Structure 1
C-alpha cells in the first residue's frame, strides 16, 4: 500500500513515516501544499494523511481540489482543531475521516486500516475469532450466536485486539487507545481490569492471551 503524509512539521512527518514503514506501508512525505500536489500528480496513493495547516496553503483547500479533479483517494485529515464545525467542513469537502491531535499511534493505525479496507472487495465490518463475533457497524458482540453485553471501553478494547490479531499489543498501547489522560497511562491498571471482565463475559478459553511482562493478544 502506498501512503502519502502531508505534514509541515518535519519531526512529526518523519515520525509518521517511520511508524508507517514499520507497519510495512510504503510512504512518501511532503512538507508543503505545492510539493503534495506534485507527488499526487506523479504517483497513485492508496491513502493520504493530510495536515490541516500547511506553510503555503491549507489541507482543506487541497482536499477540495482533489475531489474537484475527480481524485477519490481516501483522505484522513489530521488537525489540532477540535471544533465540531471543523470536522463537518472536512467531511463536506470529501474527507473520509478526521483525527484530532494529539492522537495515539494505535488509533491512527486502526483508522488507516479501516480506510484501506473500504477500498478492497473484502470490506467487512465483522471481526471474528473462534466462536466470537464482533460487528463494528452495529457494535454488537456474540459468542456462539449468543449476544453478550459489553461496556463502551470493553467493546473498544476487544475491537482493537481483533483488528490486530496475532499481534501483541502492550498495556501502554491499549491504555493509550482507551484514555486521553496521558499523564496517568504509565500507572493505570484499567486495561487489566477490562481484560479480566472481557474474559468473564466471553467465556472462551485462551481467547485473549497474556504475554507476560508485555501485554495481550488474540490469535487465530
Structure 2
C-alpha cells in the first residue's frame, strides 16, 4: 500500500482499535490456486506476538484452508470508513479554484504468517469469543449454550480455524491532511451532516491536531 508520510498512521494501538471496530477483514492469500480473497470476521489478540494475532474460522467447504500451507505469508485488509470528498466543500476552492475531488478512508493492512487450525477446541474458542463480542450490545445476548449440543457440535465440525501472526502492521488515515485545517474542518462537517459520521469526525479530529493555518 502506498502511504505518503502525511497519511501514515504508525500507532499500533490506534490500528488495533481500527481492526476491532471493523472486525470484518479481507483475507488475501496466494496459494496453490493463485490469488484469492475471502471476507471473514476476525478476533484480534493484542497480547500474542509483537503486533498481535488474528484468529478466524471458515467453512470446511471453503478451499482457502487447503490452498494455503502453514507458514505462508498472507495479508488481511481492514477498512473502517471511507467517503467521497467534493472540492466544493473546501473554502479555498471558492477563492483560488485549485482543488479536485478525492476519496478519504481509514484502513489497516495486517501482513502475517498463517497457521491452519483444524482443531475443534480452537474453533469453539474462536466462535465463543466472536459471539460474546458481537452479541454484547443485544438486549439478551445469544450464546453457544442456547443451541442444542448436537446441533452446535455438527456446526463446529463443519468449520476450520485459521490463525495469523501479524508480522507487519501498516495503517493509512487519508483525511485531507495535505489541506489546510479550515478545509479539513469544512469537509469534515459536511460529511458528518450528510451521515458519514465516522470519516467526518476523524477529519475534524485531525484538523484539531493540525497547526493553525498561517495568515498573510
User: Which structure has the larger Rg?
Assistant: 2
TM-score category of the 2 structures, normalised to the smaller one = under 0.3
Q: TM-score w.r.t. structure 2 length?
A: 0.23
Q: Relative CO higher for 1 or 2, CA cutoff 8 Å, sep ≥ 6?
A: 2
Q: Which structure features the higher share of strand residues?
A: 2
